[in-house]
Chains A and B, each alone.
Chain A
Amino acid sequence: MTAVEHRPANPAATSADRPIGFGRIQRKEDPRFVRGKGRYVDDIVLPGMLHGAILRSPVAHARLVSVDTTEALAHPKVHAVITGRDLEGLNLAWAPTLSADVQAVLATDKVRFQGQEVAFVVAEDRYAARDALELIDVEYEELPPVIDARRALDPGAPVIRDDLAGRTDNHVFDWEAGDAAETDAVFAAAEVVVAQEVVYPRVHPAPMETCGALADYDPVDGTLTLYETTQAPHAHRTLFAMVAGIPEHKIRVISPDIGGGFGNKVGIYPGYILAVVGSIVTGRPVKWMEDRSENLMSTSFARDYIMRGEIAATREGRILAVRTHVLADHGAFNATAQPTKYPAGFFSIFTGSYDLQAAHCAVTGVYTNKAPGGVAYACSFRVTEAVYLVERMVDVLAAELGMDPAELRLRNFIRPEQFPYRNKTGWEYDSGDYEPAMRKALEMAGYDELRREQAEKRARGELMGIGVSFFTETVGAGPRKHMDILGLGMNDGAEVRVHPTGKAVVRLSVQTQGQGHETTFAQILAEELGIPPEDIDVVHGDTDRTPFGLGTYGSRSTPVSGGAVALAARKVRDKARAIAAAMLETRPEDLEWEKGRWYVQGDPSAGRTIAEIALGAHGTVALPEGVDGNLDAEVTYDPPNLTFPFGAYVCVVDVDRGTGKVRVRRFVAVDDCGTRINPMIIEGQVHGGLADGVGMALMEFIGFDEQGNCLGGSFMDYLIPTAMEVPDWETGHTVTPSPHHPIGAKGIGESATVGSPPAVVNAVVDALAPLGVRHMDMPCTPARVWAAMQGRATPPI
Chain B
Amino acid sequence: MSQINVRVDGVAYTDDVEPRTLLVHYLREQLGKVGTVIGCDTSNCGACTVHLDGAAVKSCTVLAVQADGGEVTTIEGLAQDGALHPMQKAFHEMHGLQCGFCTPGMIMASVDLLRENPNPSETEIREGIEGNLCRCTGYQNIVRAVQQAAGEMAGSASAREEVR
A residues sitting closer than 8 Å to B (CB atoms) are 1-3, 26-27, 29-40, 42-43, 45, 125-127, 206-210, 257-260, 262, 291-293, 513-516, 680-681, 683-692, 714-716, 720-724, 726, 728-729
Contacts of A33 in B (CB 8 A): 97, 100, 103
Pick from A39, A210, A260, A291: contact of B99, CB under 8 Å: A260
B34-70 CB contacts (< 8 Å) to partner A = 34-42, 44-45, 47
- B residues contacting the other copy or chain, number (CB 8 A): 61
Which residues of A sit under 8 angstroms from B38, Cβ to Cβ? 42
Given known A206-B135, A723-B142, contact A35–B41 (CB-CB < 8 A): no
B16 adjacent to chain A (CB < 8 Å): no
Given A259-B100, A514-B100, A720-B135: A728 and B91 interface contact (C-beta under 8 Å): no
Contact assessment for B44 and A715 in the assembled complex, using a CB-CB cutoff below 8 Å: yes
Judge whether B138 and A729 touch: CB under 8 Å: yes
Minimum distance in angstroms from B81 CB to a CB of chain A? 13
List the B side residues contacting A686 at CB < 8 Å: 138
Are B41's CB and A714's CB within 8 A? yes
Give B22's nearest chain A residue, CB to CB: A127
Q: Which of B36, B42, B76, B103 contacts A714 (CB 8 A)?
A: B42
Interface centre among B40, B93, B133, B135 (most CB of A within 10 A): B135
* Set B74, B76, B95, B104: member contacting A684, Cβ < 8 A: B95
For the complex, what is the distance from the CA of A42 to the CA of B48, rounded to whole Å? 13
- Asked if B8 is an interface residue, CB under 8 A from chain A, the answer is no
Instruction: Give the complex CA separation of A42 and B32 in angstroms.
Output: 11
1/0 per residue B24-39: CB within 8 Å of A?
A: 0100110011111111
CA of A687 to CA of B38, assembled, Å: 24
Report if B116 contacts A (CB, 8 A): no
Contact B42 A715 (CB under 8 A): yes
3 A-B pairs closest in CB distance: A36-B35, A514-B99, A259-B101
Given the complex, which residues of A lie within 8 Å of B32, measured CB to CB? 45
Interface of A is mostly: loop
| Closest Cβ–Cβ distance, residue A475 to chain B (whole Å) | 18
Known A3-B93, A715-B40; contact A209-B101, beta-carbon cutoff 8 A: yes
Are A687 and B39 neighbours in the complex by a CB distance under 8 Å? no
Let me know if B125 is at the binding interface, CB within 8 A: yes
- Known pairs A35-B79, A688-B138, A720-B133; A26 contacts B100 (CB<8 A): no
- Asked if A37 and B136 make an inter-chain contact with CB atoms under 8 angstroms apart, the answer reads no
User: Min CB distance, A294 to chain B, in Å?
Assistant: 9
Do residues A688 and B39 form an inter-chain contact, with CB atoms below 8 A?
A: no
- Cβ B135 vs Cβ A688 within 8 A: yes
Q: Choose among B37, B76, B122, B125 the residue that contacts A35 (Cβ–Cβ < 8 A).
A: B76
CB contacts (< 8 Å) of A685 on chain B: these are 98
Q: List 30 A-B pairs, Cβ < 8 Å.
A: A27-B95, A30-B92, A30-B100, A34-B97, A34-B103, A36-B76, A38-B35, A45-B32, A127-B18, A208-B47, A208-B135, A209-B37, A210-B39, A258-B99, A259-B100, A513-B99, A514-B100, A514-B136, A683-B95, A684-B98, A688-B137, A692-B135, A714-B41, A720-B133, A721-B139, A723-B126, A723-B130, A723-B143, A724-B127, A726-B139
A33-B103, A36-B76, A715-B40 known; A43 vs B34 contact (CB < 8 Å): yes
**How many angstroms from the CA of A728 to the CA of B139 in the assembled complex?**
9
**Smallest beta-carbon distance B107→chain A, Å:** 7
A684 to B136, CA, bound (A): 8
B102 touches A208 (CB 8 A): yes
B134 within 8 A of A: yes
Contact across chains for B100 and A38 when beta carbons are under 8 A apart: yes
CB nearest neighbor in B for A32: B100
Whether the Cβ atoms of A36 and B75 lie closer than 8 Å is: yes
Question: Do B130 and A292 touch across chains, with their CB atoms under 8 A apart?
Answer: no
Against A, the Cβ 8 Å flags (1 = close, 0 = not) of B12-27 are 0000001011000100
* A722, B136: Cβ atoms closer than 8 Å: no
Q: Is the CB of B138 within 8 A of A208?
A: no
- Chain A residues closer than 8 Å to B2, beta-carbon distance: none
Q: In angstroms, how far is the closest chain A Cβ from the Cβ of B74?
A: 7
Closest to B127 in A: A724
A293 and B99 in contact, given A35-B35, A260-B135, A262-B135 (Cβ under 8 angstroms): no
Nearest A residue to B97, CB-CB: A33
B40 nearest in chain A by CB position: A292
How many angstroms from the CA of A125 to the CA of B131 in the assembled complex? 29
Minimum C-beta distance from A395 to chain B (A): 24
Smallest CB separation, A362 vs chain B (Å): 34
Q: Is B5 an interface residue (CB 8 A)?
A: no
Asked if A30 and B97 sit within 8 Å, CB to CB, the answer is: yes
- C-alpha spacing A258/B37, complex, angstroms: 12
- Give every chain A residue within 8 A of B102 (Cβ-Cβ): 208
Complex CA gap A720/B129 in Å reads 14
Do A684 and B79 touch across chains, with their CB atoms under 8 A apart? no
Chain A residues within 8 Å of B119, by CB:
none
Separation in Å of the B49 CB from the closest CB of chain A? 12
Give min CB distance, A197 to chain B, whole Å: 30
Query: In the complex the two chains form, is A687's CB within 8 Å of B79's CB?
Result: no
Inter-chain contact A26/B92, CB cutoff 8 Å: yes
Q: Which residues of A contact B20 (CB under 8 A)?
A: 127
**Contact A257–B100 (Cβ < 8 Å):** yes
Residue of A40, A293, A723 contacting most chain B CB atoms (<10 Å): A723
Closest to A752 in B: B138
Q: Min CB distance, B145 to chain A, in Å?
A: 10
CB-defined contacts of A680 to chain B, threshold 8 Å: 95
User: Which residues does chain A contribute within 8 Å of B133, judged by CB atoms?
Assistant: 208, 715, 720, 722
Cβ contact of B88, chosen from A35, A260, A715, cutoff 8 A: A35
The interface residues of chain B lying within 8 Å CB-to-CB of A30 are 91-92, 97, 100
